[in-house]
Structure 1
Amino acid sequence: MIDALATAGAALSFFLVLVLAVKRPFRSADRWLAVWFLAQCVFCVGVLLGLAAPPRVAVAALTAGQFAIFVTGPAHYLYAASALGAPRHSAWHAAMVAAAAVLVFTMPFVVPIRAEAGAMVADLSTPWLLILPPTGLALASLYPLGVLGLVSRRRERLKDQLSDLSASDPGWLRGWAGAILAVNFGLILAFANSVVAAWPVNVHMAVIMTMQVAHIAYVGQRGLTRPGVFFAPTLFVPPASQRQPVDRLKATEDYSRIHALLANDKPHLLPNLTAEMLADRLGWGPERLTAALRHGGGVNFFDAINAARVREVQRLARNPENARVSLLVLAHQAGFGSKTAFYDAFRRHAGCTPAVWRHRQVDE
């Protein structure tokens, strides 16, 4: 079973590297995604060699595989930072990789290690070795936590620019980071069980390989089904603007103008409305629009536009002529581009699901 899982992981990772290799334009973020898949491939090939190669070759291959798994952490972070236009701190990551290389590749010379069932097995009479795997996994979890922070800050910036995040939402990176944290937690549990419950090495490795292959498949599936990862340019990065002093009284007045425009002209009915488009309607620059929304109304562009769309859906739904019209149809008329965007916005701004709201209207 272990060899089948390792073969599947290596083949899938290599296939995804080839898919990335033909992407045009091939950008900085794509390079780090390719490194992530290559590292997964090296790990899986190392497991295969650990199962079949002579002892010394097996230990060397498994050591390289362990180092490759560590590389996936920085590669994941650097991909996210490059795709989101965030600082990459490359020197810091290079230092971490170098330190990991020294630790991993000197370990076989310091501690007696043998290859068994595709795993590196050390003598448990050396107690301090017990803390290395969970400590390493805990440190590796700092990378996906860093990615979660990047995604959170990115989404806030996008909400000042767009009314529909579906084309540029970096949420899949949040899912990827969550998957890494789940895998790391599972590996820590598997290691604890192998020590406390004396799991056989082959069972321990089967659990690890199952999680790794599932992880590779998850990232590949999300990337292949999401525009901008494997087949198109990376995520949209709006230009950064310089901070200007805020006149709160003027911002409040400007927000009143925005509110009046939304109520009378209904520009939010355009599904692809952007902050730049709305600012042009008002004769403003994007910075003035953002300041008016944030400091005059306490909202971002995304929430302001989708709140107006929710109000429009409610207005249309109250019309007796629309009594038998689906709320989803009305949502498209109000400017929502997808069912998910509509449901999320409705729950956020109306405090309940669309179905519950309509049921209450009927009762009234």
Structure 2
Amino acid sequence: MQYIIGIFIAFFLAVLILTKKGSNRADVFLGVWLIVIGIHIFGYYSFVSGIIYTIPNLMWLNLPYAFVHGPMLYLYTEALTNPERFKSKRWLLHFVLPILISFSAFPVMFLPENVRIMIYKNNGRGYENYMLDWTILLGISGVIYVISTYILLFKHKKRILNQFSNQEKINLNWLRFLLYGMGITWVIIILGGSDKWIFSTSTVLLIFIGFFGIRQVGIFTDQNVEIESIDELIIEEPIVIETRIEKKKYAKSSLNEDTAKDIHRKLQHLMITERLFTEPELTLTDLATRLGIHPNYLSQVINDLEGVNFYDYINTLRIQEFKILVSLPENKKYTFLSLAYECGFNSKSAFNRFFKKATNLSPSEYLKNINKQYSE
């Protein structure tokens, strides 16, 4: 029964994702992957239920599809993080191994039906070497794709810090947890774990994938992939945030020091006069457009002259603005969260996390310290 439920969930979620409003290439990969998972679960169900003995050709549902999950996970992640990579058809090369595996099964597929059934019932007796090679290849393929996907997510995390001021919906943390689960599954396969356990837990992974996959929004679709005066915010002692800046990335930049300083002055003026940091969805591209410069130049100026990435720069200004607002007597009737929203944060978790990072205090601890100073 659990396998039938898994099959139903896989196809149901695939339909939801493939037909959701504003679907993109990543949604197509995810939807197709869910269909593949459903077919694969059906292939295993046909074995445990005995259907495969009446339709021996169903063996094909278990052989090639096991090798498709790694490529689909990787391609889905790449479609989210690097959509420009799909301008060519080289991504199709990821399916060469599954196709070769299918061809390798031809000798068995052309055996008499009664012989094939006997092979299945005896767990591949007579083809032990083939099954061993199949298992080794499957394990190696799985590990390679898990590692490759992790590298994509690592690069993505660094990339969005230089392009977005809020990252709650685009940090892909849920994919990291899925990756850990997939990694454990591949290790169990390599160690010769139970197929029953692997396919039983796949239902849980299906629900996880479907829930977050439906909610996942596009990331780089609109991006060029390449009170008290705010004056005091700019000149007061800055919040110190430890951030590694890779200046080597700009070694070939044509931006000279004088131009960089000029852009920096314009950036500060824009923040003072228009308080753009209060826009929750502000991006590097948005800000560069307002300044009339290329996003790469703006990123370099922020990295070199502010010493932080774009995400930290904008959120530092938001924290400084919050400090001003929370200290005003007329704002005592408002909650921390409402003031945080006013400053440009779009979630409680993002605000609390960055405030703690910037001040080593929680908002309530900071306010207590301020009140204590005033009372003294």
TM-score w.r.t. structure 2 length? 0.75
Q: Which moved more, 1:158-167 or 1:18-27?
A: 18-27
Task: State whether residues 86 and 150 of structure 1, in contact with CA within 8 Å, keep that contact through their aligned partners in structure 2.
Answer: no
Matched to 2:254, the amino acid is P
After superposition, the Cα gap between the structure-2 partners of 1:237 and 1:277, relative to the gap in structure 1 and judged at 3 Å, is: closer
* 1:113 to partner: Cα distance: 7.6
After superposition, the Cα gap between the structure-2 partners of 1:70 and 1:132, relative to the gap in structure 1 and judged at 3 Å, is: closer
Specify the SS of the correspondent of 1:273.
coil
Task: State whether residues 66 and 138 of structure 2, in contact with CA within 8 Å, keep that contact through their aligned partners in structure 1.
Answer: no
RMSD over aligned CA atoms reads: 3.6
User: Equivalents in 2 of 1:151, 1:167: separation in Å?
Assistant: 14
* 1:73 to partner: Cα distance: 1.5
Aligned to 2:66: 69
User: Equivalents in 2 of 1:237, 1:147: separation in Å?
Assistant: 23
Aligned to 2:335: 326
Matched to 1:348, the amino acid is K
Matched to 1:347, the amino acid is K
Gaps of 5+ in 1: 193-203, 229-233
Structure 2 residue 78 is the aligned partner of structure 1 residue 81: yes
Structure 2 residue 196 is the aligned partner of structure 1 residue 206: yes
* 1:238 to partner: Cα distance: 2.0
Aligned to 1:225: 215
Aligned to 2:277: 268
Match of 2:221 among 236, 255, 258: 236
User: Equivalents in 2 of 1:218, 1:49: separation in Å?
Assistant: 24
Task: State whether residues 318 and 345 of structure 2, in contact with CA within 8 Å, keep that contact through their aligned partners in structure 1.
Answer: yes
Match of 1:174 among 151, 159, 176: 176
* 1:165 to partner: Cα distance: 2.6
Task: State whether residues 271 and 337 of structure 1, in contact with CA within 8 Å, keep that contact through their aligned partners in structure 2.
Answer: yes
Aligned to 2:301: 292
Match of 2:161 among 127, 144, 159: 159
Aligned to 2:30: 33
Structure 2 residue 186 is the aligned partner of structure 1 residue 184: yes
User: Equivalents in 1 of 2:372, 2:186: separation in Å?
Assistant: 50
Task: State whether residues 51 and 115 of structure 1, in contact with CA within 8 Å, keep that contact through their aligned partners in structure 2.
Answer: no
Task: State whether residues 253 and 296 of structure 1, in contact with CA within 8 Å, keep that contact through their aligned partners in structure 2.
Answer: no
Task: State whether residues 271 and 335 of structure 1, in contact with CA within 8 Å, keep that contact through their aligned partners in structure 2.
Answer: yes
Matched to 1:208, the amino acid is I
**How many residues were matched structurally?**
341
Task: State whether residues 30 and 213 of structure 2, in contact with CA within 8 Å, keep that contact through their aligned partners in structure 1.
Answer: no
Deviations 1:22-53 (A, max 9, x none): 34666433332232112111111112211233
Aligned to 2:145: 143
Matched to 1:318, the amino acid is S
After superposition, the Cα gap between the structure-2 partners of 1:57 and 1:308, relative to the gap in structure 1 and judged at 3 Å, is: farther
* 1:312 to partner: Cα distance: 1.5
Task: State whether residues 183 and 212 of structure 1, in contact with CA within 8 Å, keep that contact through their aligned partners in structure 2.
Answer: no
Q: Which moved more, 1:64-73 or 1:211-220?
A: 64-73
Matched to 1:275, the amino acid is L
Matched to 1:209, the amino acid is F
Matched to 2:363, the amino acid is P
Specify the SS of the correspondent of 1:121.
coil
Task: State whether residues 65 and 98 of structure 2, in contact with CA within 8 Å, keep that contact through their aligned partners in structure 1.
Answer: no
Residues 328-347 of structure 1: matches in 2 within 5 Å?
Answer: 328-347=337-356
Percent identity, aligned pairs only, is 21
Specify the SS of the correspondent of 1:238.
coil
User: Equivalents in 2 of 1:113, 1:294: separation in Å?
Assistant: 67
* 1:338 to partner: Cα distance: 1.4
Specify the SS of the correspondent of 2:212.
helix
* 1:313 to partner: Cα distance: 1.5
Task: State whether residues 26 and 76 of structure 2, in contact with CA within 8 Å, keep that contact through their aligned partners in structure 1.
Answer: yes
Match of 1:11 among 8, 13, 19: 8
* 1:65 to partner: Cα distance: 2.0
User: Equivalents in 2 of 1:312, 1:140: separation in Å?
Assistant: 48
Matched to 1:337, the amino acid is N
* 1:163 to partner: Cα distance: 1.6
User: Equivalents in 1 of 2:152, 2:225: separation in Å?
Assistant: 15
Specify the SS of the correspondent of 1:11.
helix
* 1:166 to partner: Cα distance: 3.8
Matched to 1:30, the amino acid is D
Deviations 1:160-188 (A, max 9, x none): 33322345444444343333224334545
* 1:309 to partner: Cα distance: 0.6
* 1:13 to partner: Cα distance: 1.0
